Amino acid sequence: MKNIHNTIRVALCAAILAASCGKQAATQPPVEEEHAKDGAQIAFTVSAVRNDNTKTAYSGAVTNGKERIDWVSGDQINIYLYRYNSLAGNKVYGVTPGRQDGEKSIGEASDSNGFYWDGEDVPHDFYSFYPASANASFDNKTIRFTIPSTQDGNLSGNMQYAYMAAVHENCLPPAGGGKVQLDFYPMVTTLYLTLKNNYPSGSMTLRRLKLSALTVTENGQTTLPPIAGTYSASLSGGIYVPNADSGMSNTAHEIYLEFDSPVTIANGGEYTCAFFLPP
């Protein structure tokens, strides 16, 4: 990615954390430190946290039953800042990949014109989503995501729909100029599909794939649920509520994976792709 002046550096830890993990007990009393001064730069620590309501898989590397999310060059996150319950602005931070460490993918993000603190006693609310793409929008502390009915058959290109969201409300400048913690939660379900060529001989060519919804019968009523469309996720109060069961718009009951060029699977070979669905 292009070099960016590091006015604000954001340490990114993409880690899938077990939902049952609790906070570690403090081993010593906290030390009283001077808080960041008015106008100081705001820095963030960012991680990806497992959401049991979704099924996500990104890197293929699994440690202790947790699959790592890998940041790649060109990734961007969009951060919105609220002060006094009013939107103060939003910034896009580019991600520079770092290293992989078990369950974590660690990198940095920076912006040449980032946020600044506005007083020691002024609460700041931060809302963020990944990726900072045209398929997601933010308004009134609600993020709207769009799962299109036509997606990129190439797995790396399709990651643009691997939506995650983060929120940190009522945040004051951390002691000692520390960083603001943003924990990202997946807002999609990922369905992996591996195609194997088990023909006795010869190759097979993959041009297009289609995923269709199945009818659901409940309480005597049969419905055909949508598997694509636009849905919302409310972040107010730090509560993640992906609303994919009702209120969806631009819905579809089929998803197509399109390939820029035909994919050839050799005899005995395989090819893996992914469909991204609402949660």
Among candidate residues 156, 159, 254, 146, the one with its CA nearest the CA of residue 208: 254
CA 22, chain centre distance (Å): 22
Q: Express each pLDDT in 131-171 by its tens digit.
A: 887 678 888 888 888 999 999 988 777 778 888 888 889 99
3-state helix, strand, coil in the chain (%, to 5): 5, 50, 45
| pLDDT for the residue numbered 110 | 65
Angle at 148 between CA 143 and CA 149, to 5 degrees: 150
At 43-84, the pLDDT tens digits run 665 666 554 444 444 566 666 666 666 767 777 888 899 998
- Per-residue pLDDT of 98-120, as tens digits, reads 666 666 665 666 676 788 888 77
As a whole number of angstroms, the distance between CA 249 and CA 267 comes to 42
User: Does the pTM of the predicted model rise above 0.85?
Assistant: no
Distance CA 75, CA 70 (A): 10
Peptide bond into 225 cis (omega under 30): no
Distance in angstroms (rounded) separating the CA atoms of residues 2 and 220: 57
Structural contact between residues 271 and 265, judged by C-beta atoms closer than 8 angstroms: yes
Cα–Cα distance for residue pair 3/215, rounded to 1 Å: 50
Distance CA 9, CA 44 (A): 7
pLDDT more than 90, % of the chain? 16
